[in-house]
Structure 1
Amino acid sequence: MTKKFYLSIALMVSSALMITACGGGGSEDETELSVWAMGEEGTLLPELAEKFEEENPEISINVQAIPWDTAHDNLLTAVASGEGPDVLQMGTSWVPEFADVNMMLDLTPYLDDYPAFNKENYFDGAAESMEYEDQIVGIPWYVDTRVLYYRTDLLAEVGYDDAPATWDELKDASTQLADRGDDYYGYDIDQNDQFVPFMFAWQNGSDFIDEEGNTDFESPEFMEAMEFYHSFFAEGITPTSGQLDIIQSFSNGQQPMFQSGPWMVNILNNDAPDIEGDWAVAPLPEKETNTSYIGGSNLSVFNNTDHVEESLQFIDFLVDEETQLEWFEISNTLPSRVDAWDDSRLDGNEMLSVFGEQLEETRASPQLPEWEAIAQEMIRSMERVNVGGADLQEEMEDFREKVEEDILAD
């Protein structure tokens, strides 16, 4: 069954729910914009909205904070009912699913009037998530990406004064670290992280799937990447039984390397003060490239809004370079605008500048409505290999057949 089929079923169920979103209101002389913002962003955005209202007194902003764990259902309900906000925050991996059912307004006709919406303003990976079937359906609001976190003191003990820069160095360093004794490992890989296998594929020169659904799961580049991924589990470099707490295991040295996003910087500073000065971040090691996944959120206009122009004005305000830097100070999320990274608060920060470097070599998840189903199938397939002992070659052939003949089937 296709992703469209699952979405259709969800829409039929959702349409029975009496959940509606706030629409435009306000006084006779004032336009009220309804804005859906997810998670912590929803609680923080009113601070910026007040500034916009001061600059645009004819527009008021009504921010509705939507918890991430209910956001997907709320979006489904909005599509089914035709009742949604004017402006909405959209996680980048959800863009294809909801663009496929025409939830978001095509912004292409407005690019000349709003030059900040042009793709060249954003990192290439973020720009990939803006477009679906030749329509501009969202503007990057903030971004995140994965980099290598490593214990500088423990890496130095195995001969690495700098972070591993290549696949070979990553494997060598993590093998030495895992050889320190029982219950010691070299490199943490979260088996529930759907992006890691595909990041290895990108790094090895495999595109694995294009926007038309053509796959290269049988290519040498893809298979070599899956073998490299699997080898960390097969050789005891990464634990297969249960997930160690990464903060504790990084702090006590059990797992001296892992990859994660910018949120982990503050978490380690707050929760692992004993290793201050003994850890750092670096761009991911490379094979053909060191491509990382780019995440974050985009801002879109709901297709049924009565307030297109006001919605565009608000998005234009939020993606302005100076507003992006102010939002960074408020939310600690990374700016999507490339030019914002020239600011000393980012470029001059030893940790954050690494993320800026990595963002230059990133890609978005494939712009397919079926992508989430494909990624979840990969997690199940690799778990059968890494934990259950299934044959990698056979499992990848089953994975290819599942994707091509079931998930992507018309």
Structure 2
Amino acid sequence: MTLGIAVMLSAAAVNCGSDGGQADEPGAAGPVEEPDEPVTITFSSWVGSEEGMQRLYEKFQEEHPNITVEFHDVPAEQARQKLTTQIAGGNPPDVAYVDASDVVTFASRDALVNLDGYLEHSDAIVPDDYVEAFRAFASYEDSFYGLPFDGESTGLFYRTDLFDEAGIEGPPTTWEQFQDAAETLTKPGEQQYGYQIFAPEAAYYWYPWLWQAGGELLSEDGSTVEFNSDAGKAAAELYAGLADVSAPDHLNSNSYDGRIAFANGQVAMYMAGAWFAGVLDEEFPDISDKWATAPLPEGDAGCATTIAGDALVIFAGTENADAAWTWIEFLGHPDNVAEWTFESEGTLLPPYQSLLDSPELIEAKPVLEGFAEAMTCGKGNVIHNPKWAEVEETLNEELGKAIYGEKTGAEAVDAAAEAANQILAE
């Protein structure tokens, strides 16, 4: 988190009060009743105009005709800053669809409504059914401040046609197999590379390697960094070395733009979330028979992958907390989560274990089977410390230097750890 964001959120917390400006804990009095008169709530998101969300809204209005949702669209890459500015100005929306990693950031600054009271009386939401990583995303200090809504695990996409040409049978399942395959598939003279890493997103895509090596980001009490342990250094060395099997032109790109390199056959293997399967089907249908997915290759510590997702939150100070809860409770009902995720056009996964285990998911989207199974070893990179964003930014910069050969992977994580410990101690 930058200092500016921290200051703005702190100022908002003073304005809102530690209890979010509510005289009593929202939802504590009992089940929410339908409003007697028309109520309008505002909903900030980058998905409000999508057909799937509008279908859900039509269903919602049939059940709750006195509640109108006013959709405020904001690009995904601008959402966090936009909400931060609105909070500081005292005019946030009633509800927002946010990156799940932002829940802790906002909750730690008293900018969100504590949902425990509502959940206690809800028949629609069963918190124990959430995958553990999603419960962690949506919680702060043992209370829920968001409802997980959709998500993904990270897997390996590979070009079956390039594997066949190289005589490689099936996707790699271990680090050693992965490195061998990446080297075999790298043919610079033909503009073909075995894998692709991205310096601007180095930290996020390094985390699975760290966890698979047996490393952790922080100590159990969260006071010191541990990503420069022996396991972390081994993971960083391997990761930085992947620049040798990556397309140089894409090292300074980003994971989403890199999809084109995979689609045109320039890159043979690619790490991405389940979202990428939907993108390939929609944007590159001509290669539908030339790619497949697999779990990430495992390190010495076994299976580990990154889980990401989105959540629904209510902002503190809202005058329409009950109506806002009615809206997000409706969206968070398992039936509606299923409709929004695997029953829709994309390839997002539901955060409920019961839905991940349902045969309907595989029947609807066979490509999601491996991603659903990987949820059992999935971990979130959300750290319940408002200073973590600054730490992560430092780690990202240092790993980026290693990718460009300015230092070794081990040197990079050592430098990042030294700076991170100072940040956490301030």
Give yes or no for TM over 0.5.
Answer: yes
1:300 is matched with which residue? 313
Match of 1:201 in 2: 210
- The corresponding residue for 2:280 is 268
Asked whether the 8 Å contact 1:143–1:297 carries over to 2, the reply is yes
1:94 to 102, 106, 112: 102
Does the 8 A contact of 1:92 with 1:129 survive in 2? yes
Q: Distance in 2 between matches of 1:126 and 1:247?
A: 26
The alignment partner of 2:120 has SS state of coil
State the partner residue of 1:22.
Answer: none
* Structure 2 residue corresponding to 1:337, chosen from 335, 352, 355: 352
Per-residue Cα deviation, 1:307-349 (whole angstroms, up to 9, x for no partner): 3333222222111121112223456233222222345552123
Contact 1:41 1:331 in 2 (8 A): no
Distance 1:14 1:166, change over 3 A: same
Structure 1 position 387, deviation (Å): 1.0
Residue identity opposite 1:36 in structure 2: F
Taking the aligned partners of 1:251 and 1:69, their CA distance within structure 2 comes to 24
Q: Conserved in 2, the CA contact under 8 Å of 1:126 and 1:363? A: no
Which deviates further from its counterpart, 64-73 or 169-178? 64-73
Q: 2:151 aligns with which of 143, 147, 150?
A: 143
Whole-angstrom distance in 1 between the partners of 2:389 and 2:345: 27
Report the secondary structure of 1:221's partner residue.
helix
Contact 1:151–1:257 under 8 Å retained in 2 = yes
Q: Is contact 1:150–1:280 with CA below 8 Å preserved after alignment?
A: yes
Letter in 1 for 2:144: I
1:218 matched residue in structure 2: 228
Matches within 5 A, 1:72-221: 72-114=80-122, 116-178=124-186, 181=189, 183-193=191-201, 194-210=203-219, 212-221=222-231
Choose which of 263, 283, 300 in structure 1 pairs with 2:295.
283
**1:375-390, aligned counterparts within 5 Å?**
375-390=392-407
The 3-state SS of whatever aligns with 1:76 is helix
Partner of 1:208: helix, strand, or coil?
coil
Shift of 1:134: 1.9
The 8 Å contact of residues 42 and 71 in structure 2, kept in 1 or not, is answered as: yes
Map Cα deviations across residues 264-322 of structure 1 (whole Å, 9 max, x no partner). Answer: 22332344344321210111111113322211211112121233333222222111121
User: Which whole-Å CA distance do the structure 1 matches of 2:246 and 2:289 have between them?
Assistant: 25
Worse-superposed segment, 137-146 or 107-116: 107-116
Equivalent residues of 2:9, 2:109 under 8 A apart: no
Which piece of structure 1 moves more, 332-341 or 88-97? 332-341
Q: TM-score, normalised by structure 2?
A: 0.83
Return the alpha-carbon distance in structure 1 between the equivalents of residues 258 and 413 of structure 2.
Answer: 29
Could you tell me whether the CA contact under 8 Å between 2:9 and 2:111 is conserved in 1?
no
Deviations 1:128-155 (A, max 9, x none): 1011122211110111222110012322
CA distance in structure 2 between the partners assigned to 1:305 and 1:99 by the alignment: 15
* Distance change in 2, residues 1:247/1:8 (3 Å): closer
Contact 2:247 2:267 in 1 (8 A): no
Aligned to 1:255: 267
> Cα distance 1:370–1:331, how it changes in 2: closer, same or farther (>3 A)?
farther
Query: TM-score, structure 1 length as denominator?
Result: 0.86
- Give CA-to-partner distance per residue, 1:197-256, whole Å, 9 cap, x none: 1221112111222563421133111111111111212xx212345448634432443311
C-alpha distance 241-43 of structure 1, shift in aligned 2 (>3 A): closer
- Alpha-carbon distance between aligned partners in 2 of 1:50 and 1:274, rounded to the nearest angstrom: 35
Could you tell me which residue of structure 2 aligns to residue 7 of structure 1?
5
> RMSD of aligned C-alpha atoms?
2.7
List aligned pairs for 1:207-246, cutoff 5 A: 207-210=216-219, 212-233=222-243, 236-243=244-251, 246=258
Give the structure 1 partner of residue 25 of structure 2: none
Tell me, yes or no, if structure 1 residue 47 matches structure 2 residue 55.
yes
Matched letter for residue 311 of structure 2: N
Please tell me whether the aligned partners of residues 79 and 98 of structure 2 are also in contact (alpha carbons under 8 angstroms).
Answer: no
C-alpha contact (below 8 Å) 2:124/2:329 kept by paired residues: yes
Partner of 2:18: none
Q: CA deviation at 1:403?
A: 0.9
Tell me whether 79-88 or 185-194 shows the greater mean CA deviation. Answer: 79-88
Letter in 2 for 1:80: A
1:314 pairs with 2:321: no
Q: Distance in 2 between matches of 1:10 and 1:112?
A: 32
- Give me the whole-angstrom Cα distance separating, in 2, the residues matched to 1:252 and 1:305: 48
Gaps of 5+ in 1: 16-27
Partner of 1:36: 43
How many pairs are equivalent? 393
**What is the CA distance between 1:178 and its match in structure 2?**
1.5
CA distance in 2, matches of 1:128, 1:13: 26
| Aligned counterpart in structure 1 of residue 377 of structure 2, from 361, 369, 372 | 361
Q: Tell me the secondary structure at the aligned position of residue 171 of structure 1.
A: helix
Supply the AA of the counterpart residue of 2:184. Answer: Q
- Identical positions, percent: 27
From the superposition, tell whether residues 248 and 202 of structure 1 become closer, same or farther in structure 2 (CA, over 3 Å): same
CA contact (8 A) 2:41 2:69 kept: yes
